[in-house]
Chain A
Amino acid sequence: MRRVSWFNLTSLTFGFAFLYLPMVVLVVYSFNSNKLVTVWAGFSTKWYGELFRNEAFLDAAWVTLRVALLSSTMATVLGTMAAYVLVRGGKFFGRTLFSGTLYAPLVMPDVILGLSLLLLFISIGLDRGMVTIVLAHTTFAMSYVAVVVSSRLVSFDRALEEAALDLGCTPLDAFRSVTLPIIAPAVISGWLLGFTLSLDDLVIASFTSGPSSTTLPIKIFSAVRLGVSPEINALSSILIGIVTVGVLTFSISSKRAIMKRMREENRAET
């Protein structure tokens, strides 16, 4: 193995420190028994206990989770359909306009998106609540899904669909039994992307949420404005934990799949 030079080691350390030091500090202080966040007074898990007795936080967490699940699922369905039409639909009237508008939410500032959605909901008389957050999140997550899925569809061999038609599939059948299984990784990535975007969105959610439905980011943000509390630290640590476990499982399982495939290919050659 090559030795790691001093320069590389230093940049690695600084890079990681820059990325993770804030989080480490946050996690460490979540176990602080002192009510004053920045003064260490010994190890304790009591804030985690407090957190699970805090109805407001639990409600917000539950809302956030439902919003993320619903909006990412809807966005995945709509975004995949949009991507399919854009890549496969051939020429149709307004195609360029359509693809332009589909990608607009990607570059539009969140504030503007949130504001315009707010105006829309008010003008059609839709009461703000969980429904409006779900709709708003679906709108912008759909664009991300469409981008991810259409980039996969561009490299998808059209002949596979034709072969399915040739063997007796209706177009819908062909999509279900051939196209979808093959582009599934991209669709799942799109779903995950939509899910995480919805989880950590603060700006759009604060425009479109009502008094009855507060999401976790809004809750945390408003709580922090009154002062950082150890409870928030505990909550954030749990979120970090969930994300870490999620990312690790995802990358380990996909690495396993690649290894398995490579082994199979090697065996096929010999």
Chain B
Amino acid sequence: MADKPRKLPQEVFAPWEDPEAKPLIQFRNVTKRFGEFTAIDDLTLDIYEREFFALLGPSGCGKTTMMRMLAGFEAPTEGQILLDGQNIAPVPPNLRPVNMMFQSYALFPHLSIWDNIAFGLKRDKLPKDKIAARVEEMLRLTRLEKFARRKPHQISGGQRQRVALARSLAKAPKLLLLDEPLGALDRKLREDTQFELMDIQEKTGTTFVIVTHDQEEAMTVASRIAVMNHGKIVQVDTPARIYEAPANAYVADFIGDVNLIEGTATRTGEDRCSVRFAEAADPITAECTADLSDGIAVTYAIRPEKILVTADRPADRANALEGQIIDIGYLGNISTYHVELPGGQMIKAAMTNSTRLDRRDFTWDDRVWLSWRETAGVVLTE
């Protein structure tokens, strides 16, 4: 991690900062191989109670495999998974206090919505009226009362997704696994459902682990995000810190838009250094950690929205570089300027369109100044 964790006030939910807190789930050096192929590679991870934990990574990086190991459909090749301090390897899926919402929803086509939700409760041999009450509660929670008597093929995709959620929530599991739960929904419905999920999680106090390959979704819902690549966890942190303080260039590039500038670092102060990336351009001044050695190759990462585009050189900014606008991308609320610096380095800068398009200050081939603060970007050594 780039800098030290700050002490947070008591009411903020952050059990991972508390050395006393006992994790609900612990992955201890878990490796999972399918034949020769290593899907999960020596992974160690703690997830705490009441967390909304997101697994984020490209397709094939092992997210579903982790979920399936938690649900009990795959066993680790090496290492242990502990739930509440107990090794869960010998516990079959039907005896785990874990429920999973499947990527494909996996609703039972021969049962009505009502019976789908009641399915797990009936296995617990609960009395009939208890089951009915719980199902009604779940139907209310997911706003499906009107569809209780229908079969899964008679409702829309969004409704099916809610049925799958209601079914997995009905047994009030300790841990709920959501495997790309919103993948099939269009944007609007997706956003609504994300907030619905967060609401449900708050009401029920269940621990959620959600798999997604959509970084915006992870940022919206999660208390913490684990960014994965090739069966390893690259960084685990809160959404804000993943975004503002990525551990390396992979994370920075994976989450959001970023400029990655390669150069060499020279120490200039106690926690200051300068990054030289081209002969023709001034070096960049940045914050960096104390253990950085001189002359080391680094990647400087800075988000486009942190860069100010102006016609004249601003006086009060640590970094200011002149360049030429090569391209402008108009996205409605913002415009992205692609600016070429001396030496050929391209920089993306995003500016809010506070004025109408026809009143814009800059156009193609204009010479502009790009400027940002010392603390706006991070120096990455990996």
Contact = CB atoms under 8 A, between A and B. Distances in A.
B315 to A, nearest CB: 62
Contacts of B314: none
A267 B154 contact: yes
B104 A159 contact: yes
In this complex, the member of A160, A163, A169, A267 whose beta carbon has the largest number of chain B beta carbons within 10 angstroms is: A163
B151 A157 contact: no
Interface size, B (range): 20 to 34
A87 B150 CA distance: 31
Closest 5 CB pairs of A and B: A167-B120, A268-B154, A168-B123, A159-B106, A163-B106
A36 B100 CA distance: 74
Contacts of A89: none
A162 interface: yes
A167 B171 contact: yes
Contacts of B106: 157, 159-160, 162-163
A78 interface: no
A160 B111 CA distance: 12
Contacts, number: 71
Contacts of B107: 163
Contacts of B95: 168
A200 interface: no
A261 B102 CA distance: 25
A168 B154 contact: no
Contacts of A163: 100, 102, 106-108, 167
B73 A162 contact: yes
Interface of A: 157, 159-160, 162-170, 173, 177-178, 181-182, 261, 264-265, 267-268
A260 to B, nearest CB: 11
B93 interface: yes
A159 B167 CA distance: 14
A169 B108 CA distance: 14
Given A163-B102, A164-B119, A168-B94, A264 B151 contact: yes
A93 to B, nearest CB: 18
Contacts of B99: 166-167
B203 interface: no
A46 to B, nearest CB: 51
Contacts of A160: 106, 108-109
27 contacts: A157-B106, A159-B102, A159-B103, A159-B104, A159-B106, A162-B73, A162-B102, A165-B72, A165-B73, A165-B93, A166-B94, A166-B100, A166-B168, A167-B167, A168-B94, A168-B120, A169-B123, A177-B119, A181-B110, A261-B153, A264-B151, A264-B154, A265-B153, A265-B154, A268-B150, A268-B153, A268-B154
Given A162-B102, A170-B94, 5 more contacts: A157-B106, A159-B102, A164-B119, A166-B94, A268-B156
B106 to A, nearest CB: 4
A146 B227 CA distance: 46
B20 interface: no
